[in-house]
Amino acid sequence: MTGSPPTALRPQHPNPRSLHGLAETFEFEVHGDIDDLDVTGVELSSSAVRPGDLYVGVPGRNAHGAQFTAAAREAGAVALLTDAAGAELAADAGLPVLVTPDARAALGDVAAWIHRTAENPATFFAVTGTNGKTSVVYLLYGILRQLGVVAGLTSTAERRIGDEAVTSSLTTPEASELHALLARMREAEVRAVGIEVSAQALSRHRVDGLMFDVVGFTNLSHDHLDDYASMDEYFEAKRDLFQPDRSRRGVVTVDSEWGRRLVAESRIPVTTLSTDPEVDADWRLTVLDETATSTSIVLVGAEGRRLETQVPLFGHYMAANAALAILMLVESGYDLELIAQALRRDGGIRAYIPGRAERVSGDRGPVVYIDYGHTPDAFQQTLDAIRRFTTGKLIMLFGADGDRDTTKRAEMGAIAARGADIVVITDFHPRFEDPAAIRSALIAGARAAVPDREIHEVADPRAAFRAALALAGEGDAILYAGPGHEDYHEVKGVKIPYSARDDAKQALREAGWPA
């Protein structure tokens, strides 16, 4: 499968809608003549506008989008939707203007109206939580395909329409892109869609205009405290998904206090899942067996309901992700026994999750995993899982995002030092921060936790992986955490091509090991 061009993200045969009808439906103030004008799409970026689009100008970090209205008109925009300040900026741009107090807040509902999202027959699933969102979305997608359902997804890694895929730029796309994607999926007769929903997506209106059939919650741990003032505020952003104006039903993993609090504060019917026998839940997950390549599980509910299967991934956390996906399907109306039959037929769940504990090494030499984990909890879960199958040394290679939550760096270093025998710290998207300062914070956290831990500091990620590999041999394991599926390394606003997955394979071959 190769990635398709970005044109796949928008409907190929859009159904025009009256601009006058749009203005009337949303009671927009109108400047200029909009009679006899139709709109076929909606776009936030003037450089991405196509003929027939409604261009939406919103305030940005450095400029107001309405300043680029003339460029949008040249590209074929039929009108501008903006706020009062934007209307003034675009007064001489030559487009009719629809005015609303907050164009970004209106964008989701407007995009849903233009693309007729309410008429889409697909079942919409949403997954939120700190870790595991991508995995659950791919597990949903995999099981749906085993059931014979044409499925789609949008995740941190990619947007997927059946077998077509394009790389993602945001965990959850902007509302304009999301509703266009769903319209394209409808053309492809997609009947179920898994959507990864971040806290920022909820706070910034990216999933407005959507009613989800079933939403799922994985967990909540330290992350994004650069965007949210506290863990409580971070939780409240995610809690918004479990409200009746957004979703019909929910499934919540209640192994943590955050999950139990979400159940208490949810305003939609919720089914609960736990891996802890001490926690009261509707469904209980038990891990029966675990190998370096798979996990056998049994899921038991009330009245003898039971499903036993195999997950093609290691780790109790991946088992929990699979259980959540299964229960979301059950809550949407899929029969548990039909799911069980399909999984028995195929020898378990069939799913590939790009960059999540992805083994890139061959059958000899050190075992090498590339992982997207970039939070303390993700580090802990993955290290614990790999340790169970490692007879030799466990080496961890990682860095930390620049211009992102700085409060988690010391904890990331500490967990790495406690969980690995050797720690190698490198650069990972330093962006506009001083990379040496980022590495220093990680090393300080590691030293404070385990003063005598062997630590290597290698700034260049290519050299860092080779340094880690030189320390490893047969029976050892290397966890390269952070880059996962990504194919770039961001420094001072420039995205430098770099695939940890490809580079690790090349380094293994250079060292004489299979990849």
Cβ neighbours for 466, distance < 8 A, ≥ 6 positions apart: 507, 510, 511
- Residue spans per domain, the chain: 6-115, 117-345, 358-510
DSSP states along 4-16? PPGGGGS-SS---
Cβ neighbours for 284, distance < 8 A, ≥ 6 positions apart: 273, 274, 275, 277, 299, 300, 301
Could you tell me the pLDDT band of residue 4, with boundaries at 50, 70 and 90?
very low
What's the rounded mean pLDDT across residues 490-503? 92
Pairwise CA distance, residues 425 & 459, whole Å: 7
Overall CATH class of domain 358-510: alpha beta
- In degrees and rounded to multiples of 5, residue 371 shows phi and psi of -140, 150
Locate 338 and state its tokens: 């039909």
CATH superfamily of 6-115: MurE/MurF, N-terminal domain (3.40.1390.10)
Pairwise CA distance, residues 143 & 324, whole Å: 12
Which pLDDT score, from 0 to 100, does residue 405 have? Answer: 86
Which pLDDT score, from 0 to 100, does residue 8 have? Answer: 43
Nearest-5° angle of CA 209, CA 215, CA 216? 145
Locate 290 and state its tokens: 């675990």
Q: Which 3-state string (H, E, C) describes 179-241?
A: HHHHHHHHHCCCCEEEEECCHHHHHCCCCCCCCEEEEEECCCCCCCCCCCCCHHHHHHHHHHH
pLDDT at 507 over 70: yes
Element (H, E) at 494: strand 494-497
In sequence order, what are the beta bridge partners of 151? 192
Pairwise CA distance, residues 87 & 66, whole Å: 7
pLDDT at 334 over 50: yes
Q: Where are the alpha helices (DSSP H) in 420-460?
A: 435-449
What's the rounded mean pLDDT across residues 57-73? 96
Which pLDDT score, from 0 to 100, does residue 374 have? Answer: 82
3-class secondary structure, 333: coil
Share of the chain above pLDDT 90, in %: 85
Element (H, E) at 113: helix 103-115
CA distances from 297 to 218, 289, 332, 358 (A): 17, 7, 22, 20
Average confidence score pLDDT of the chain: 94
Are the C-beta atoms of residues 263 and 255 closer than 8 Å to each other? no
Could you tell me the pLDDT band of residue 2, with boundaries at 50, 70 and 90?
very low
* Each residue's pLDDT tens digit, 121-180: 999 999 999 889 999 999 999 999 999 999 999 998 888 998 888 877 666 789 999 999
Q: Which 3-state string (H, E, C) describes 324-348?
A: HHHHHHHHHCCCHHHHHHHHHHCCC
Pairwise CA distance, residues 81 & 69, whole Å: 10
CATH superfamily of 117-345: Mur-like, catalytic domain (3.40.1190.10)
* Each residue's pLDDT tens digit, 352-403: 998 888 999 999 999 999 998 888 888 998 999 999 999 999 999 999 999 8
Which strands sit side by side in the sheet containing 358-359, from one edge to the other?
358-359, 367-371, 477-481, 394-398, 422-425, 454-457
Residue 250: HSE in the Cβ half-sphere, 13 Å Cα cutoff:
31
* Each residue's pLDDT tens digit, 436-481: 999 999 999 999 999 999 999 999 999 999 999 999 999 999 999 9
* Each residue's pLDDT tens digit, 337-361: 999 999 999 999 999 998 888 999 9
List the end-to-end C-alpha distance of the chain, in Å, as a whole number: 20
- Total residues belonging to the chain: 515
pLDDT at 261 over 70: yes
Are the C-beta atoms of residues 330 and 123 closer than 8 Å to each other? no
Task: Please state at what angle helix 500-510 crosses helix 461-470, rounded to 10 degrees.
Answer: 40
pTM of the model: 0.89
DSSP 431: B
Pairwise CA distance, residues 480 & 438, whole Å: 17
* Each residue's pLDDT tens digit, 201-238: 999 999 999 999 999 999 998 766 777 789 999 999 99
- In degrees and rounded to multiples of 5, residue 385 shows phi and psi of -65, -45
Locate 343 and state its tokens: 């999984």
Which pLDDT score, from 0 to 100, does residue 197 have? Answer: 96
